Amino acid sequence: MFNRIFNLPKTHSFFLFGPRGCGKSTLLRTLFGTSEKVLWFDLLDPQLEDRFATVPEEFKNEILARGKALEWVIVDEVQKCPKLLNYVHQLIEENHLKFALTGSSARRLKQKGVNLLAGRAFIRNLFPLTHVELEKHFSLDQALQWGSLPEIYSLNTEAEKKDYLRAYTLYYVKNEIQNEQWVRKLDPFRRFLPIAAQMNTEIINYSNIAKDIGVDVTTIQSYYKILEDTLLGFELPSYSKSVRKQQRKASKFYFFDTGVVQALKKSLDFPLQPGTSEYGKSFEHWIILEIQRLGTYAQKDISLSYLRTKDDAEIDLIIEGLRKNTVFIEIKSKKKVDERDVATLSHFLKDFPDGEFYIFSQDPTAKMYHNKIKALHWKDGIEELSASASRFQRQPLNWY
């Protein structure tokens, strides 16, 4: 059991969103334990889902039957039956009950026009494990190859890890896409997934993907929207502010876990080798995921983007809202950086005179270039950013 650096409201209802397998149910069972003050509903149970979908008022009746001793109601995978939220709203207002509502997809809730209780429940997000949470169990190469879904760390062999990640991606297609009928034709979406994984961290070319799959551009755009709505990844937009150099405007897409990307690419049988372009892409992917996760946990209102000019000068990550000044980060997987590695960042020093510039790498020696560009080991760099976002606190193990 890993202690999560995650703060949940103790006196207020909340939604807890996160991809399947990231530990939502485990976290809540650890926090709430077994108590007469807590009532659980797991909507992954098809019989329970069918009962509440058919007669939703039974949900309310079952809760009220528990009497005044009840304080918390836990509803796992609430998107399976969105109409229950009408009763949740009512029970919060009239009976002062508190609800913890988990979800691995926001798509059904959006489709039904649910307003997420109009602020009566806070929203939190849970991700795969961070290096801070893994502590002594963390290995960078393992994280790049296998990702950091909690179940991975209970498996002892590479064969077991491959089986788990392959099963995970198949489960996603069957349960999140096929069963929920998010696409009219499943085969094009199946062909889309490995191509999207190959394009992970790259600028999205909707037209080329559409030609490869044999569908129109609008369909590809809808597929990416499905990936976002089912929490399988997020869009990294291009930097919105103009600079002297012409910029590319298309977005990138980052899947939520490095191991899942390896599975979707069908490359689990080919270990990542340091020094290769694939290793470098996975390192960049993981660093950006780690910053996104830690920033979310710190509840900082930050925005992430990238910048690439028409002549292919690129800044991998731009962070706004973390500090007074914008943060620009170049990510290198190499173990020794030198003057050549800051060439791209140095081109932008005049464009952003108030910016803070970093190179994150595996080089353990901190260096300064042009009195402006700070080169740090990735762990030290993330720690410096984390200090700006306030220290993370591990969640206490039990509330009762």
Residue by residue, DSSP assigns 360-377 as EES--S-EEETTTEEEEE
- Residue 25: give its domain's CATH number: 3.40.50.300
User: Are 137 and 274 in a shared domain?
Assistant: yes
Instruction: State pLDDT tens for residues 192-214.
Output: 999 999 999 999 999 999 999 99
* Res 176 pLDDT > 80: no
Position 398 scores a pLDDT of 42
Domain with 233, as residue range(s), is 131-279
Regarding whether 53 and 137 lie in a shared domain, the answer is no
Average pLDDT in the chain: 90
Mean pLDDT computed over 113-133: 83
Residue 290: name the closest of 394, 100, 104, 144 by CA.
144
| Confidence (pTM) | 0.91
Say whether 215 sits in a helix, a strand or coil.
coil
Q: Is residue 152 part of a domain?
A: yes
Can you read off the two tokens belonging to residue 307?
């910048």
120 and 136 both lie in a single domain: no
Average pLDDT over residues 305-322: 90
DSSP code for 128 = S
Q: Which of 261, 279, 297 finishes a domain?
A: 279
Specify if 331 maps to a domain. Answer: yes
pLDDT in tens, 335-386: 999 999 999 999 899 989 999 999 999 999 999 999 999 999 999 999 999 8
Task: Identify whether residues 137 and 261 lie together within a single domain.
Answer: yes
C-alpha closest to that of 384 among 303, 316, 314, 329? 329
Number of structural domains found in the chain: 3
What is the pLDDT at residue 397? 40
Does residue 394 form part of some domain? no
* Cα atoms in the Cβ-side hemisphere of radius 13 Å centred on 318: 19
337 inside domain: yes
The reply to whether 110 falls in a domain is: yes
Pair 331, 201 in one domain = no
The residues, ordered by sequence, that sit 6+ positions from 119 with a Cβ below 8 Å of its Cβ are none
Q: Are residues 139 and 269 in the same domain?
A: yes
In a domain, 196, yes or no: yes
Domain end marker among 66, 101, 125: 125
**Same domain, residue pair 144 and 254:** yes
Residue 318 lies in a domain: yes
Going by pLDDT thresholds of 50, 70 and 90, the confidence category of residue 177 is confident
Amino acid at 85: L
Collapsing DSSP states into helix, strand and coil, what is residue 103? strand
Closest C-alpha among 277, 295, 227 to residue 257: 227
What is the per-residue pLDDT across 20-59, written as a single tens digit (0 to 9) for each? 999 999 999 988 887 889 999 999 999 999 999 999 999 9
Query: Bridge-partner residues for 369, per DSSP?
Result: 373
Separation between Cα atoms, residue 184 and residue 24, nearest integer Å: 30
Mean pLDDT value across residues 210-236: 94
Give the Cα separation of 100 and 78 in Å (integer): 10
Alpha carbon distance, N-terminus to C-terminus of the chain: 18
Q: How many angstroms separate the CA atoms of 138 and 304, rounded?
A: 25
Rg over alpha carbons for the chain, rounded to the nearest Å, is: 22
Has residue 300 been placed in a domain?
yes
- The CA–CA distances, whole Å, from 239 to 46, 207, 251, 293, 319 equal 44, 22, 9, 20, 10
Summarize the confidence of residues 96-122 as an average pLDDT: 79
177 & 262 share domain: yes
Structure tokens given for 5? 């650096």
**Is the predicted pLDDT of residue 243 greater than 70, yes or no?**
no
